[in-house]
Each structure stands twice: as C-alpha cells, then as structure tokens.
Amino acid sequence: MAYTYDDQNIFAKILRGEIPNDTVLETEHSLAFRDINAQAPTHVLVIPKGPYATFDHFAAEASDAEIVDFNRAIGEVCRMTGVAADRGDGYRLIANAGADGVQEVPHLHVHVIGGHMLGRMLQPAR
C-alpha cells in the first residue's frame, strides 16, 4: 500500500508560513518548534520539512540527507534545551503514529519532552 500525505494538516501550514510557531531550530530539512500545549517544561516538536505522515513513511521514502538532518536536529534540540543526557537530566522522545498511536497531526513529528521527572512509560488505554 502506498503512503499518502494530507497537505492541509496544521504542521504543513506551519511549514508554509500560514500559521505562526515558536521556532527553536531550523535546518535545511527540519524544523523544531515548541508544542502549543506543553506537557513538561521542555516540549519541542521536531518535524521534517518533507511530506511524510509517520516515522515509517519517512524511513521508507526520505532521502539519506533528510534522515541524517532530522536525527541531528533532534539531538541538537536536546542539547539546546538543556535536557541532553550528557549535561542535563534526560528526556523522552515520542513519535505517535496512526489511530493506535493516537496521532493528532498527520505529519511526522518527534516530541522532545523533559525538564522534570517523566515517570515510567505509558500504560495501554485498554
């Protein structure tokens, strides 16, 4: 089955400059900005600029340059926000996908969450 992408999603609109965002980092292929509904003192979303709905879509179809840029951007955000494990107290990365993952916005985003103790991993909802 081919991957699809809906370019009317809110992060596509952010990338087109149609709605504002609080940018933390912009690179050639990625953008990082603060989550509008932060769940912790640090809550940044890192997205690829390309049209990928989920992590598996990105991993299957993005170029090597996009994949390297995205991973390095996530690491840089960890360092910039002070949560990096080598000098801060750590963080959690979350990439929700699809219905079971309860993905709200169908454009790949990695949540970088930290700044306080996060507790253990989530429990299943059912």
User: What radius of gyration, in Å, describes the C-alpha atoms of the chain?
Assistant: 14
Q: Is 59 a binder of ligand 5GP (CB under 6 A)?
A: no
Alpha-carbon span 78 to 90, nearest angstrom:
8
Binding mask 23-42 for ligand 5GP (x = CB under 6 A): ----------xxxxx-----
CB of 2 to ligand 5GP, least distance (A): 22
Sort residue 90 into left (φ over 0), alpha (ψ -120 to 50) or beta: left
DSSP state of 90: -
**Identity of the residue, 37 or 86, whose beta carbon is nearer to ligand 5GP in the bound complex:** 37
Q: Is 100 a binder of ligand 5GP (CB under 6 A)?
A: no
The residue range among 23-31, 46-54, 67-75, 103-111 that interacts with ligand 5GP, by the rule CB under 6 A, is 103-111
**β-pair type (42-48, 91-94):** unpaired
Which of 28, 104, 117, 123 is the binder for ligand 5GP (CB under 6 A)? 104
DSSP state of 50: S
107 catalytic residue (yes or no): no
- Residues 99 and 121: beta-carbon distance below 8 Å: no
Residue numbers at the binding site for ligand 5GP (CB under 6 A): 10, 21, 33-37, 96, 102-105
The residues annotated as belonging to the active site are 109
